[in-house]
């Protein structure tokens, strides 16, 4: 079996002058992340190494010495694919393929392969194709047979022997326009769903974080759902939503979103912006961090940068709760120090292990307190026989006291302002504080 059909690959991380290592990442950590991305699509990694590039070459990015050495590695391992953890121009990609006599994809191409496998909803598949076409526009080739393996997901990911179909720029542009129109329809539908939730209203709590931070594991823990949760980068692409009880008589909608990652090209971020609209509209945002990861601070900065692009400022936006996950992987003394520091911070952070469940009850209590912080306490006067409205009050609020005078029931209840307004507007029931 040759390298192409077996999925055998070589991963290289070019260490460029002034690269993203300034954000606090080591070259080795960046390489490890690239390997994780490659394994997310079941590639067999035959070799992984950092390659220092003192002066990027316009034709090949990396220098002659490294080119020659890697040619020997490709031949020795019979690798069918080389993943270059950097952005390659079309010319550089073509020249590297000729030099190494194997297929080459860059970081953007690799991420698009992952997105193509993970997309399940119509919206996700459209977003993947839009990002793919934007990326391929300068290459004027639509076929994605880099890995030459049968795979599901988006239709442009071809299997062995698929004919290379070349599209000219006009055809690509026409398809991009068509996809954007379809995505506009999807966004309008989602907007209607959000409007419907706002009328209920159930607060939306969105999970965000660097990819593989444990968002889906936490989502499953809190909702007892079966969303795909693996030790795999980009395990979630399409947002998943579930209604759960948050305590204190409050029901919430929990939303799991795609993981963020460093160095996403601008056109790819734009293509997936609709997925993040749920975050912009959320009542609370849980920033899930892998606190045990050596690059946890750099990952935090990457996530906060994306949130700022969504007009969510961590310092001034009161909706964000920092969830320090995977605490079970820390030494006990370090875990205790972290927990003490978080307790001193107040109500904007929690230390948990989504895997073991440790700290998750406390997180739910924190969510309930934050959701209920703006609720108003009032007394509602009902007819003694109005069981329907009484049940509604129990469902949407926290009933503190109920007494009757034989003809009327006086219910002291804590309600969200939207619920109080709905009670007055739709049911015509007067309230007093």
Render pLDDT for 145-186 as a digit per residue (tens, 0 to 9).
Answer: 444 433 334 433 344 333 444 546 788 888 999 998 998 888
CA distance 260 to 303: 6
Annotated binding site for Mg(2+): 216, 236
Q: Do the beta carbons of residue 378 and residue 423 sit within 8 Å?
A: no
The pLDDT of 77-88, averaged and rounded, is: 93
Please enumerate, by residue number, every residue annotated as part of a binding site for GTP.
209-216, 234-238, 256-259, 325-328, 353-355
Specify burial of residue 99 (Cβ count, 10 A radius: 0-12, 13-18, 19+).
Answer: middle
User: Rounded to an integer, what distance in angstroms lies between the CA atom of residue 55 and that of residue 327?
Assistant: 41
For residue 204, the SS3 value is: strand
Mean of pLDDT values over 218-238: 71
Task: Kindly indicate the confidence band of residue 283, based on its pLDDT and cuts at 50, 70 and 90.
Answer: confident
Give the count of beta carbons closer than 10 Å to the beta carbon of residue 431.
16
CA–CA distance, 5 with 160 (Å, rounded to integer):
8
Where b means 16+ CB within 10 Å and e means fewer, 168-194 reads eeeebeeeeeebeeebeebeeebeeee
What are 117's two structure tokens? 């496998």
Closest C-alpha to 47, from 16, 75, 15, 19? 75
Q: pLDDT at position 196, please? A: 63
Average of per-residue pLDDT values in the chain? 80
Q: Would the pTM of this model clear 0.95, i.e. be above it?
A: no
Q: Which amino acids are annotated as binding site, given as ranges?
A: 209-216, 234-238, 256-259, 325-328, 353-355
Residue 1: its pLDDT value, please? Answer: 35
The 10s digit of each residue's pLDDT in 338-374 is 999 998 887 789 999 999 999 999 999 899 888 877 6
């Amino acid at each position: 079996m040759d390298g192409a059909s077996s999925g055998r690959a070589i991963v290289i991380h070019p260490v460029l002058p002034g690269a993203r290592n300034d954000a606090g990442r080591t070259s080795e950590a960046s390489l490890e992340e690239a390997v994780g991305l490659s394994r997310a699509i079941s590639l067999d990694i035959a070799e992984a190494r950092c390659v220092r590039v003192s002066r990027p070459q316009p034709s090949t990015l990396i220098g002659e010495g490294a080119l020659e050495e890697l040619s020997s590695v490709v031949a020795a391992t019979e690798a069918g694919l080389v993943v270059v953890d950097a952005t390659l121009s079309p010319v550089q990609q073509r020249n590297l393929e000729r030099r190494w006599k194997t297929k080459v994809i860059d970081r953007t191409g690799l991420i698009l392969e992952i997105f193509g496998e993970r997309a399940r909803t119509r919206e996700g598949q459209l977003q993947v194709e839009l990002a793919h076409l934007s990326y391929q526009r300068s290459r004027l080739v639509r076929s994605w047979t880099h890995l030459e393996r049968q795979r599901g997901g988006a239709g442009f990911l071809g299997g062995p022997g698929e004919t290379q179909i070349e599209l000219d720029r006009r055809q690509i542009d026409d398809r991009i326009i068509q996809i954007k129109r379809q995505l506009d329809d999807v966004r309008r539908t989602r907007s209607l769903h959000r409007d419907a939730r706002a009328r209920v209203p159930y607060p939306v709590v969105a999970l965000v974080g660097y990819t593989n931070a444990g968002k889906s594991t936490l989502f499953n823990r809190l909702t007892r759902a079966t969303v795909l949760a693996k030790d795999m980068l980009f395990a979630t692409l399409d947002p998943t939503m579930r209604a759960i009880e948050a305590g204190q008589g409050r029901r919430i909608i929990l939303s799991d979103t795609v993981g963020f990652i460093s160095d996403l090209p601008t056109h790819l971020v734009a293509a997936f912006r609709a997925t993040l609209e749920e975050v912009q509209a959320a009542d609370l945002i849980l920033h899930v961090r892998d606190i045990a990861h050596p690059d946890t601070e750099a990952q935090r900065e990457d996530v906060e940068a994306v949130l700022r692009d969504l007009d969510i400022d961590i310092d001034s936006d009161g909706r964000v709760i920092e969830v320090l996950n995977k605490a079970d992987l820390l030494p006990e003394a370090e875990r205790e120090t972290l927990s003490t520091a978080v307790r001193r911070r107040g109500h904007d952070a929690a230390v948990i292990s989504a895997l073991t469940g440790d700290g998750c009850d406390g997180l739910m209590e924190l969510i309930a307190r934050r959701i209920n912080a703006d609720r108003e306490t009032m007394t509602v006067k009902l007819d003694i026989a109005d069981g329907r409205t009484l049940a509604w009050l129990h469902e949407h609020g926290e009933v503190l006291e109920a007494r009757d005078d034989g003809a009327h029931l006086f219910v002291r209840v804590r309600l969200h302002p939207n619920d109080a307004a709905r009670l007055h507007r739709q049911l015509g029931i007067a309230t007093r504080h």
